[in-house]
Structure 1
Amino acid sequence: MSPGASPYARALGTRRADLHLTLREYFDTLPPGHVGIGEGVFDRVGTSRRWLQPLLRPLHRRGVLFAGWEQDVPFRITNRLVAGRLLGERVLMSTQGRWTMRDAVVLNRHGRPVDEIGDPVVVAAEFDLDVATGALRLRSRAVGMRLGVLRLRLPRFLAPVVRLVESFDEEAGAQRVRVTIDLPVIGRIYEYGGTFRYRIEEDT
């Protein structure tokens, strides 16, 4: 597959054929000069543990995690493919105001997707991926943080486990996404999930 293809498409290889058709189009390569736009609603986003919310504020300010707990939050996704990197921007219209998360997905030398999150990059997670019943499932195998020029890979006993499931909801006629982050011992510290509809159009 072309080095300019989407990192997800390259990581999946022949497994692309097992994805639901809508997801195949979503994770496939964007044509030159085009952008992918998704609009929908998150059923919930953030952390319900109030004591955690102040601790997440630094990551909130850097566009990594939403430091709150809200339901029925409208959002918009914008995807661009630049030199084989999938650049994403997620804008949430929360009661706190407009909040933006930016990330870049690249393929590492092992053929696994790595999601670099934040502006500038603060967190990076390497994923194993699989396809089951037409859905894409990702589970983090390594998580690291960037502190200035320092890069720190978190040891397994401290590292959060990030899971992502992208599926198509036939009943709703929309794409469904669910992301969870769990810490050893503590458990669930962050999540978001909801449905959206996606289209590809010229990048103006």
Structure 2
Amino acid sequence: MTSIFRTAMGEDAFARLHPELQRRFSVGLASGEMCVGRGAMDRIWHGRGPTRHLVRPFLALGGTRNILLPRTGRQVPFTIENVPYLDSYGRETVTFVRTFRLPGGPRRFDATMVNGPAGGRIVDYLGTHQHLASELLLFAEPDGSLLIRSGEHRFREGPVDVRVPEFIGGDAEVRESFDERAGRFRISVRVANRYIGPLFGYEGSFTATYARVRDCGVRPGLRPLREEARA
């Protein structure tokens, strides 16, 4: 058994990632490792002009479920926790819980990831209740960095399972690399709507430490409050 990210990318593509990225995205039940990244986001931004006013209510609403970031900032201390576990449906799951220590109090952006049923992609559940699910496609870039693009977004609650319309959805692009000179991971996230433009994003850098999952476990508050069966 390999990590969910290696499975989604395939052996050849995964092997083209920088070795430090390979280790970070090998966190899983097979490796027995978890990873915690600590650093700072150089900036957290929202779309400008009319876009800012249009998306502000959605960002505020998402913030109540640890989805999206309702505030902006610079040099914001940042932590990301990647911990693997089996969810209540027996699926290997990896947390992507990001904490941004903004003025006025910390804000979280939670995600939990599993392999998609069709292979070749990840299903990214967002927030504390996994109401939103996004398909993620992962690519190895020529310089060894990782590019992640979102595909279809779905809203799921009870019997409801609907595709999020494009005019209110956001397409995410994540780039993660390893800076050998600085000894740090660098990340850039951009979410945009194809009709109204950039919505929000952040960029910065962090270092990573690893630990054995069996020694640390999954700390309280890291797993979502509700788990969605549909992938």
Q: TM-score of the superposition, structure 1-length normalised?
A: 0.89
Question: Residue in 2 aligned with 1:6?
Answer: 3
- Name which of 99, 105, 110 aligns with 1:102: 110
Q: CA RMSD in A?
A: 1.8
Q: How does 1:179-190 map to 2 (within 5 A)?
A: 179-190=189-200
Question: Residue in 2 aligned with 1:124?
Answer: 133
| Distance across 2 between alignment mates of 1:70 and 1:186 | 22
| Distance across 2 between alignment mates of 1:100 and 1:159 | 20
DSSP 3-state at the match of 1:10:
helix
Aligned partners of 1:37 and 1:79 also within 8 Å: yes
Question: Residue in 1 aligned with 2:63?
Answer: 60
- Name which of 142, 151, 157 aligns with 1:141: 151
- How much identity, in percent, do the aligned residues show? 29
Query: Which structure shows the bigger proportion of residues in strand conformation?
Result: 1
Question: Residue in 2 aligned with 1:42?
Answer: 41
Gap change, CA 1:70 and 1:146, over 3 Å in 2: farther
DSSP 3-state at the match of 2:23:
helix
Gap change, CA 1:147 and 1:45, over 3 Å in 2: farther
Cα deviations across residues 94-117 of structure 1 (Å, max 9, x unaligned)? Answer: 012111222111111221111111
DSSP 3-state at the match of 2:130:
coil
Cα deviations across residues 80-99 of structure 1 (Å, max 9, x unaligned)? Answer: 11132112211111012111
| Distance across 1 between alignment mates of 2:118 and 2:175 | 22
- Count of aligned pairs between the two proteins: 200
User: 1:154 offset after TM fit, Å?
Assistant: 2.2
DSSP 3-state at the match of 1:109:
coil
User: 1:9 offset after TM fit, Å?
Assistant: 1.5
For structure 2, the residue ranges without an aligned partner over 5 or more in a row are: 87-91, 217-231
Aligned partners of 2:145 and 2:176 also within 8 Å: yes
DSSP 3-state at the match of 2:57:
helix
Q: TM-score of the superposition, structure 2-length normalised?
A: 0.80
User: 1:66 offset after TM fit, Å?
Assistant: 0.7
Aligned partners of 2:63 and 2:69 also within 8 Å: yes
Amino acid at match of 1:67: P
